[in-house]
Structure 1
Amino acid sequence: MHLHQGSERPAGGKRLLLLVSLAHLVSHVYILALPPLFPFLRDSLQVGFVELGLALTVFNVVSAVAQAPIGFLVDRIGAQRVLAAGLGLGGLALLSIGLVGTYAWLLVGAAMAGLANGAFHPADYALLSAGIPKAQLGRAFSLHTFAGYLGTAIAPAVLIGLALLAGPGLALGVVGLAGILLVGVILPMRVPAAEDQSRTSAQGRFAGGPNTTGGSVFTLAIGSLTVFFALLSLSNGAIQNFSVAALVNGYGVSLTQANAALTAFLMLSAFGVLMGGFLADRTRRHGDVAAAAFALTALLTLFVAVADLGAVALMFALGAAGFLSGAIAPSRDMMVQAAAPPGGAGRAFGIVSTGFNVGGAIGPLLFGWILDHGAPRWIFGAAVGFMTLTVLMALCDRWFARKGDGSGAPRA
């Protein structure tokens, strides 16, 4: 691995952040590559939506199983190699689905894409933790997360536009090839060692080479953060995936108004992430920041749950809730970075990110059951409950900061 020295560090850090964020954007396009094409794939593959949904299940199950082991691999062989492999495998998966054009291969390709998806969070955060100065890390995490939100936003338009022009196979092929080409930029990337981190033997080895630094990640702090991530996934998933159905069926809100409210939530979440980066760099009490922001989010969501708001008030309430929920993302990531042992960022982020998969697996079943039993207001009520638990888990960060990581070592 090559390291920038002296005055090259700032430029190297910016380039690192740009490339890692670009990889994160592509990873979110990978995640959403298939769902927008379901109407096309149903006709071309001659299958139903249940069969197509099975491909997403395969993707998520493989990703959940792979993420923690890949986190250990990041710390063993280097995040740069793992990130390049994830980009390449994900791109190859989509390209092959487009070329082969059979349902059986759709499932195989979905499994390949799920394995690739497990690489991005551990590798991305390990690279940023190693190459970005600690005083700027919150903003770096926020821009990285924002890039993922942007990838989510553009994926449907890109895939559907390409499919309308030349068919779903070409749409998947173009996206897959773009990711494969990005590998050629990631592999020769020069990863700087942040000046304030270069004193530890682990720094730099996150990116390009094996890391032999010890330190267990099986601590109370990492365990609590995994639960924290699962609760975040449950509460955000309730609003992102089920709020439109709940508003239409239980509040007398039109489909257009419900979608406008959800759009406000999602759009302002992205801008909240950027604001959260500045907050994260101005305090070390990241648990308190996350708890305060999410407590306000819970109050706004409770207001939506119990009140009959007009269309404009509903949009403002959910928009403000989205902004606040986005603002905690950089503090959330800083909590994990602080809990990780030296040289263990890949392992730590790999483990805690499985919480997203757990929440993503449980949430749809729970919220679907709520709607099937005619209680749409409880979509927001359940979200409030999970948000309250999230606040309590965030406040535990102060306790862990005092007690250390469970091994007696003080937290950074």
Structure 2
Amino acid sequence: MPSFVTSPESAPHSARQDIRTIGLIGLGHCTSHFHHMLLPPLFPVFIREFGFSYTELGLLLTVFFVISGVGQALAGFVVDRHGARPVLYGAMVCYVAASLATAAAQGYGGLMLAAALAGLGNAPMHPANFTILNRRVSTPRLGHAFSTHGLSGNLGWALGPVFLIGLTTLTGSWRIAALCAALLGAGVLALMLWRRDDLDDHHARHRAQVKALAASGPSEHPLAFLKQPAVWLCFAFFLWSAAALGAIQSFASPALNQMYGLTDTTTAFVVTGYMLCGAVGMFIGGFVVNRVARLERTIAVSIGMSVIMLLLSASGQLPPWLAALSVVLAGFGTGLANPSRDMLIKRAAPPGATGRVYGTVYAGLDTGLALAAPAFGLLMDHGLPAAVFAGAAGSLALGAASATIVGQRITMRG
């Protein structure tokens, strides 16, 4: 049984080489999160043009998350067997196809196809991205790589609605906006093909490590890693963290409106502020992760700050502006924890199973987001807006507990 310790997969590259790899992976991750938002910003347009209900449109997101979650776990095996770079190219092709399907959609079937293609593109992104980062970026800069990866995803979420709504308004056609999204994805793919050497995860040192690992003894079954409790604890961490994120993204605005009487215009900036604070936290977390040995403690303290902020908002006793600010500041703690979270998964991954482990645990992200919408929506339907913030705080606390147990297991095995 492999021990859960860090094995140095990273090639000793120069700073310039590392920066190129980090930049390309960050750009790809930004494009991935951009396509998370390919359809939702256009929902009001689809309602006007096709007469769809919100239930029908919500089903499109369910299709996206189900395909992405199942595919993410499976994609890790493909990455470990055939390499991350070709899988990453395939993901980008799916995003371009999803944008083209959106532009050509004549009804619900066309939009369902677009959602399915976007989910298929999202499925391999995390196992492919983290495999390339772990194998190509030098260890001293790996924390910054994880930080940039998370930061770029947040920027993609922020860019998607602005890009699609802005172009729809400017051109008067949502189809043109979708075509422009396809061009954007194609441009990123072209850049990745041009700089393909910077994404090569089968470089000479890695091949030597694989050969040495094979010579050390009989190989384990490809599913052996699933027996490790640390893998499922990491999955649980992602599930609970994603549930909290889904609660804030979907229901923080109406919950603050009902509890504190804040206007829709004001509350609309709360989610944006939450994501921006998360981005700042990720940037700082990239420096913290290289200076702290017990990563689970960083995660516990960071998320603990977020839990306190959300519980304060849930109390209903704050001035309205302070309640909104508390929700915004909660994003900083969750962002600060992200680089340590990704490094913790690296330490928990058995040698040679990076793609499979990242694919499995990141499937928890899709699972949490898929479950959060109906669960927290039900709380809102029953007139319990405070439960949105209290539930998000509880979800984060459970996630922090999972990370703490993982860290303790790694320490004992190390």
Write the distance in 2 (CA, Å) between the matches of 1:275 and 1:350: 25
The amino acid across from 2:182 in the alignment is: G
Write the distance in 2 (CA, Å) between the matches of 1:167 and 1:268: 33
Greater shift in the superposed pair: 40-49 or 84-93 = 40-49
Write the distance in 2 (CA, Å) between the matches of 1:104 and 1:178: 24
Write the distance in 2 (CA, Å) between the matches of 1:370 and 1:84: 41
Structure 1 residue 176: Cα displacement = 1.6
The answer to whether the aligner puts 1:363 opposite 2:372 as a matched pair is: yes
> Paired residue for 1:240, among 245, 249, 265?
249
Write the distance in 2 (CA, Å) between the matches of 1:295 and 1:48: 39
The answer to whether the aligner puts 1:160 opposite 2:169 as a matched pair is: no
> Paired residue for 1:376, among 370, 375, 385?
385
The answer to whether the aligner puts 1:279 opposite 2:288 as a matched pair is: yes
Change (3 A) 1:354 1:360: same
Greater shift in the superposed pair: 93-102 or 243-252 = 93-102
For residue 209 of structure 1, what is the aligned residue in structure 2?
Answer: none
Conservation of the 8 A alpha-carbon contact between 1:213 and 1:343:
no
For residue 102 of structure 1, what is the aligned residue in structure 2?
Answer: 107
Change (3 A) 1:289 1:176: same
What are the within-5 Å matches in structure 2 for residues 247-266 of structure 1? 247-266=256-275
Change (3 A) 1:403 1:227: same
The amino acid across from 2:86 in the alignment is: R
Structure 1 residue 38: Cα displacement = 1.7
What are the within-5 Å matches in structure 2 for residues 30-41 of structure 1? 30-41=35-46
Identity in percent:
32
For residue 334 of structure 2, what is the aligned residue in structure 1?
Answer: 325
Write the distance in 1 (CA, Å) between the matches of 2:167 and 2:248: 29
Structure 1 residue 323: Cα displacement = 0.8
The answer to whether the aligner puts 1:190 opposite 2:183 as a matched pair is: no
The answer to whether the aligner puts 1:293 opposite 2:302 as a matched pair is: yes
| Secondary structure in 1 matching 2:148 | helix
Conservation of the 8 A alpha-carbon contact between 2:256 and 2:267:
yes
For residue 140 of structure 2, what is the aligned residue in structure 1?
Answer: 135
| Secondary structure in 2 matching 1:179 | helix
Structure 1 residue 199: Cα displacement = 9.2
For residue 72 of structure 1, what is the aligned residue in structure 2?
Answer: 77
Report Cα offsets for 1:62-89 as digits up to 9, x if no partner.
1111110011111111111111100011
Conservation of the 8 A alpha-carbon contact between 2:316 and 2:386:
no
Structure 1 residue 368: Cα displacement = 1.3
The answer to whether the aligner puts 1:226 opposite 2:235 as a matched pair is: yes
For residue 91 of structure 2, what is the aligned residue in structure 1?
Answer: 86
The answer to whether the aligner puts 1:117 opposite 2:122 as a matched pair is: yes
Structure 1 residue 240: Cα displacement = 2.2
Greater shift in the superposed pair: 260-269 or 184-193 = 184-193
For residue 216 of structure 2, what is the aligned residue in structure 1?
Answer: none
The answer to whether the aligner puts 1:354 opposite 2:351 as a matched pair is: no
Write the distance in 1 (CA, Å) between the matches of 2:37 and 2:314: 29
Report Cα offsets for 1:28-66 as digits up to 9, x if no partner.
111101111122233444433333322222111111111
Write the distance in 1 (CA, Å) between the matches of 2:271 and 2:102: 31
The amino acid across from 2:62 in the alignment is: T
Report Cα offsets for 1:6-26 as digits up to 9, x if no partner.
8x6322211111111101111
Change (3 A) 1:73 1:194: closer
| Secondary structure in 2 matching 1:201 | helix
Structure 1 residue 109: Cα displacement = 2.3
Structure 1 residue 181: Cα displacement = 3.2
Structure 1 residue 140: Cα displacement = 0.7
Change (3 A) 1:48 1:312: closer
For residue 5 of structure 2, what is the aligned residue in structure 1?
Answer: none
Question: In the comparison of the two structures, how many residue pairs are matched?
Answer: 393
> Paired residue for 1:201, among 200, 209, 234?
209
Write the distance in 1 (CA, Å) between the matches of 2:392 and 2:58: 24
> For structure 2, which runs of at least 5 residues remain unmatched after alignment?
1-9, 212-218
Greater shift in the superposed pair: 53-62 or 120-129 = 53-62
Change (3 A) 1:107 1:272: same
Write the distance in 2 (CA, Å) between the matches of 1:173 and 1:360: 27
Change (3 A) 1:202 1:186: farther
The answer to whether the aligner puts 1:217 opposite 2:217 as a matched pair is: no
The answer to whether the aligner puts 1:15 opposite 2:7 as a matched pair is: no
The answer to whether the aligner puts 1:341 opposite 2:347 as a matched pair is: no
Structure 1 residue 296: Cα displacement = 1.7
Structure 1 residue 257: Cα displacement = 3.4
Structure 1 residue 304: Cα displacement = 1.5
Conservation of the 8 A alpha-carbon contact between 2:261 and 2:320:
no
For residue 51 of structure 1, what is the aligned residue in structure 2?
Answer: 56
Write the distance in 1 (CA, Å) between the matches of 2:148 and 2:42: 28
| Secondary structure in 1 matching 2:197 | coil
| Secondary structure in 2 matching 1:98 | helix
Write the distance in 2 (CA, Å) between the matches of 1:290 and 1:394: 7
Structure 1 residue 397: Cα displacement = 2.3
For residue 182 of structure 2, what is the aligned residue in structure 1?
Answer: 176
Write the distance in 1 (CA, Å) between the matches of 2:319 and 2:378: 27
Conservation of the 8 A alpha-carbon contact between 1:131 and 1:194:
no
> For structure 1, which runs of at least 5 residues remain unmatched after alignment?
204-211, 405-409
TM-score (norm 1): 0.89
Greater shift in the superposed pair: 216-225 or 257-266 = 257-266
Report Cα offsets for 1:195-220 as digits up to 9, x if no partner.
9x7596149xxxxxxxx997732111
Conservation of the 8 A alpha-carbon contact between 1:291 and 1:391:
yes
Write the distance in 2 (CA, Å) between the matches of 1:353 and 1:23: 17
Conservation of the 8 A alpha-carbon contact between 2:41 and 2:165:
yes
Structure 1 residue 234: Cα displacement = 1.4
Write the distance in 2 (CA, Å) between the matches of 1:362 and 1:125: 25
The amino acid across from 2:30 in the alignment is: L
Structure 1 residue 275: Cα displacement = 0.7
Give the superposed CA RMSD.
Answer: 2.5
The answer to whether the aligner puts 1:27 opposite 2:32 as a matched pair is: yes
Write the distance in 2 (CA, Å) between the matches of 1:235 and 1:253: 21
The amino acid across from 2:36 in the alignment is: I
The amino acid across from 1:217 in the alignment is: F
